[in-house]
Amino acid sequence: MYVSADIAASDLPKPTGFRLLIGIPDVENKTKGGILLPDQLRDLEKTASVVGQVLDMGSEAYSDKEKFPAGPWCKTGDFIMLRSYTGTRFKVNDREYRLINDDTVEAVVADPRVIKRA
């Protein structure tokens, strides 16, 4: 999960309504070739991230049967794709999170490590 050990679940906001709480992964500090990436570039990559993990869901997430006739698009614990810069961005103990609407989930991914922003 994308919650570090030093963050208690009670420290994170509880999403309301149809919103999802998404944990954003840390960006590697080196390239595959071993070049160190500056903090500013890593922060920009986190901001533009297209992958996250569903940590929590509001009580009304995916409850609209007309909008989601086949049921929820994802569940807690799933890794998902989302649009860059989407949602309400915030940090808790220097780790980035987002609150997004349930209908902004683009895809569910099996292995988030293989997904890279283009």
pLDDT at position 1: 45
Dump pLDDT digits (tens) for 47-68: 557 899 999 999 999 999 999 9
Residues 6+ apart with CB under 8 A from 36: 29, 30
Looking at domain 9-111, its CATH architecture is: Roll (2.30)
In this prediction, residues 15-29 reach a mean pLDDT of: 87
Dump pLDDT digits (tens) for 73-110: 999 999 999 998 889 999 998 888 999 999 999 999 99
pLDDT at position 114: 82
pLDDT at position 107: 96
| Range of lowest pLDDT (2-11, 37-46, 91-100) | 37-46
**DSSP collapsed to 3 states, the chain:** CCCCCCCCHHHCCCCCCCEEEEECCCCCCECCCCCECCHHHHHHHHHCCCEEEEEEECCCCCCCCCCCCCCCCCCCCCEEECCCCCCEEEEECCEEEEEEEHHHCCEEECCHHHCCCC
Q: What are the boundaries of each domain within the chain?
A: 9-111
